[in-house]
A and B are shown apart, each in its own frame.
Chain A
Amino acid sequence: MLFYILKRILVAIPTLLAVVIVTFLMMHFAPGSPFNSERVLPPEVLAVLNHEYHLDKPLPWQLGYYILNLLHGDLGQSYKYLGQSVNSLIFPQSGTGGFWVSVILGAWVLLVSIVLGVSLGMWAALKRNSLIDRFVTAFSMFSISVPTVVLAPILVLIFAVLLGLLPAGGWGGDFQHLVLPVVSLSLGIAAIIAQIMRSSLIEVLNSPFIKTAKAKGLSRRTIIWRHALKPAIIPVVSYLGPAAAAALTGTVIIETVFTLPGLGVLTVQAATNRDYSLMLGLTVLYSTLLIIFNLIVDILYGFLDPKIKY
């Protein structure tokens, strides 16, 4: 097991390196420059800026310099937010904003969608073809087909503008400010989890070992909780890897609609502003998270699926 984890981490390093190089080159080959502004900068000023950010050096030099700093955990200076380092934008020292917002939001979203999705999926599978099953399927279809870009403003209109129950946006760090963003984000993920859970549980319930268990005279409760649930949840877990990374690195639409200072908004701004260092920093973070979550998922497989041994 330990050997397996070590191997995975070693494989992750070249993957990350490749991500850095490709992103770095893509950013630099995109037309436009980070110092383009409506008012044309005097050539002297441009020269100072280019020098300060090492843009006057050859591209391979810049890449090497970046990777060297990255090894020390230094993501460089932002090109757009002058005077702020990428580290301080992604991981603000005050503890509010950037990654920390995304962590709180992402954790809530995951929690709500797993609890909601798994229980709805189980319920539907156990009461197959009943009214409940149809309701769950209808709910899932609705939540999957209504995009957050539509759902979020509708929730804002009803609960913030008309009813005045919840804030329409902003980040207060309190529970009230979290409700609408978490609900808007969770419904879609919960719906997918419910669908996966439903079909996987149905399949497991029809498999021979469940029949054996029934023949042995085990109670329905024991069959479901002890024997069926573990194998049925495996597909859900494999979906959770990328879902967790996505939930943590923020979702652009939700952050825009609710004005949350998370990573999603930063990503969009970094791309449009040609903020090379911020974009790279975010890509590295996202890739790292993706690798970590996939690793966690694979380790969980080992516990859930007796067929998998590391």
Chain B
Amino acid sequence: MMLKKFFYVAAIVLLTAGLLSGCGKSGSDQYAAAGKDTLVRGNGAEPPSLDPAIMQDVNSAQIAYDLYEGLTDFNQSNQPVPGIAQSWDISSNGKVYTFHLRPNAKWSNGEPLTAQDFLYSWQRTLDPKTASPYAFVLFPVVNAQEINAGKMPLSSLGAKVIDAHTFQVTLKRPVSYFLQVMTQPATYPVYAPSIKKYGNAFVQPGNSVTDGAYMMAAWVPNGYIDLVKNPYYYDAADVKIDKVKYLPIVDTNSELSQYKSGAIDVTYTVPVDQYKQIAKEYPTELHTVAWTGNYYYDFGLLHAPFKNNLKLRQALSMTVDRDAIATQVLGQEQIPMYTMIPSDIENGAFSALKPYEWQSLPYAEKVSEAQKLFAQAGYSTTHPLNVTISYNTNDIHKKVALAIASMWQQAFGSAIKVELNNQEWSVIIQAKNKGDFQIMRDGWIADFDTADNFTELLMCANPQNTSHYCSPKYDQLINEAESTTNPAERVKLIEQAQTLMLNDYPVIPLLQYTYFRLVKPYVKGYDPTNNHLDHVHSKWFYFDYGK
């Protein structure tokens, strides 16, 4: 009798499950089948600002790439291509750029877009009153840095309007990636009449006038941002999707549900803990791309025990098994790192760099070598090392810190005691800036496709230099590399500088980040394979249901 009852229950459960999963297909396809005119993209979070001079995070920039366009634009491999400027001349010394603007370039209200608009916008970005956090991207321009510091007038900027469609910029020194700088939001043109009339509210729907492929239609904070195609965009004929909707979904599980239910076409990311499952379930829809960003640990060089203790820092760095962290601990195809420069930057120019002699030793040998250094550094079971790893509260950071703590525990036994200390973001940043920590989780994502993003991090005066490392020799090499016009020479100098710095062990390079997102099969035109910066335009996309 009991057995019979059990079978009944089992049959009902199975039937229900079958019905539910059967319905699943029709459920998620119902949106796909419809002739859509709106591309729905996950945006990760609410953009804190849509003012190009103020924005400093990906959640804002992602939308700005659709709303605005600079003198140059970027393609799917992050290379600069003609934007509002259809061509440009670069002087032989690499310092004077003359941009020729498209005669048909217009604002989204139909007004002509001229060189004067760029001059106004750049001066606005550099004006100390604007308080732009990204003004530094324009610092290569003559007097830009002095203007931003309030030491010189706006009119002294090394940029001038030759005529309505010609804009000339003079640089302090040749900058190899200057055309890429023009693709940055801080250099985008903003519409002066709107700013004069509405002040800070010039970005709001109704007030917003922009020059990109799309324009602002609606903005409900934390709800959605709707963009519509800009009919005055010079290339409007090639923009295929009429509307773009950005959803600021913070919760990745919620984003995944909405993707599965067909409400989102392109996600911002996927829940890390479900990555493997998703890769299995949606092998063609999940795209994983190496990101030009690094993940590393800083040693706090201002305080004991790491101040003046090179051997200790080396011992700890050697015993971190980067491969195990990339493949076993995380497993989202992250790339183990031994330098600060991601392998994909500048087309892999620095991927051959091997700064550490011990780098290719088997892990066991690294450990025995490190144990000797650790003992020489003065630590033993009778005099153990107490060390704290600080990180901002986050599952990935916790996993990595736990793994590294256990690697050190295994390598040095009771001679080391590792403590983990997680704090919220705002608190961690304060500790980083002050150098008030022992070991700090850190990371950096490139703004441009150039190694300079990473080499500058460890220069003495860089505010981003968390470990507070300072080597005049390193600074000198980097300065030389940045001023040379010979590309091969530059690579050599940077490699030399990296090797020098890394063997001083101010940091433990760990991983190169990857980014991953789901894209519906009917969404075409987007190819992230070589998009290592993850800068995306909605104008690339189109729908194809392949009937």
Q: Is the Cβ of A161 less than 8 Å from the Cβ of B221?
A: no
- Looking at A52, A84, A269, A273, the one whose CB has the most chain B CB atoms below 10 A away is A84
Q: Is the Cβ of B426 less than 8 Å from the Cβ of A33?
A: yes
Q: Is the Cβ of B249 less than 8 Å from the Cβ of A169?
A: yes
Q: Is the Cβ of B257 less than 8 Å from the Cβ of A39?
A: no
What residues of B have a CB within 8 angstroms of the CB of A256 in the complex? 250-251, 254
Q: Given the known A-B contacts A31-B427, A82-B51, A83-B49, are A261 and B463 also in contact in the complex, defined by CB atoms under 8 Å?
A: no
Q: Is B430 an interface residue (CB 8 A)?
A: yes
Q: Is the Cβ of A265 less than 8 Å from the Cβ of B222?
A: yes
What residues of A have a CB within 8 angstroms of the CB of B201 in the complex? 83-84
Q: Is the Cβ of B260 less than 8 Å from the Cβ of A161?
A: yes
SS of A interface (majority): loop
Q: Is B27 an interface residue (CB 8 A)?
A: yes
Q: Given the known A-B contacts A39-B133, A40-B464, A44-B150, are A94 and B254 also in contact in the complex, defined by CB atoms under 8 Å?
A: no
- Looking at A83, A255, A261, A265, the one whose CB has the most chain B CB atoms below 10 A away is A83
User: In B20-57, which residues have CB < 8 Å from any A CB?
Assistant: 20-21, 23-24, 26-28, 30, 46, 48-49, 51, 54, 56
What residues of B have a CB within 8 angstroms of the CB of A52 in the complex? 131
Q: Is the Cβ of B223 less than 8 Å from the Cβ of A168?
A: no
Q: Is the Cβ of A169 less than 8 Å from the Cβ of B30?
A: no
Q: Is the Cβ of A36 less than 8 Å from the Cβ of B222?
A: no
Residue of B nearest to A263 (CB): B222
User: In B224-260, which residues have CB < 8 Å from any A CB?
Assistant: 224, 247-251, 253-254, 257-258, 260
CB distance from B463 to the nearest CB of A (A): 4
Q: Is B148 an interface residue (CB 8 A)?
A: yes
- Looking at B46, B54, B134, B430, the one whose CB has the most chain A CB atoms below 10 A away is B46
CB distance from A267 to the nearest CB of B (A): 11
Q: Given the known A-B contacts A44-B128, A48-B129, A157-B257, are A163 and B27 also in contact in the complex, defined by CB atoms under 8 Å?
A: yes
Q: Given the known A-B contacts A45-B135, A82-B49, A164-B28, are A169 and B258 also in contact in the complex, defined by CB atoms under 8 Å?
A: yes
User: In B64-121, which residues have CB < 8 Å from any A CB?
Assistant: none
CB distance from A172 to the nearest CB of B (A): 9
CB distance from B179 to the nearest CB of A (A): 22
- Looking at B131, B132, B260, B433, the one whose CB has the most chain A CB atoms below 10 A away is B131
Interface residues of A (CB under 8 A from B): 31-33, 36-42, 44-45, 48-49, 52, 80-84, 89, 92, 94, 96-98, 101, 153, 156-158, 160-165, 167-171, 255-262, 265-266, 269, 272-274
Q: A45-B132, A164-B262, A272-B424 are in contact. List 8 more A-B contacts (CB 8 A).
A: A39-B464, A44-B149, A82-B49, A82-B200, A84-B200, A164-B26, A169-B254, A257-B253
Interface residues of B (CB under 8 A from A): 20-21, 23-24, 26-28, 30, 46, 48-49, 51, 54, 56, 128-129, 131-136, 148-150, 199-201, 203, 205, 218, 220-224, 247-251, 253-254, 257-258, 260-263, 424-427, 429-430, 433, 463-464
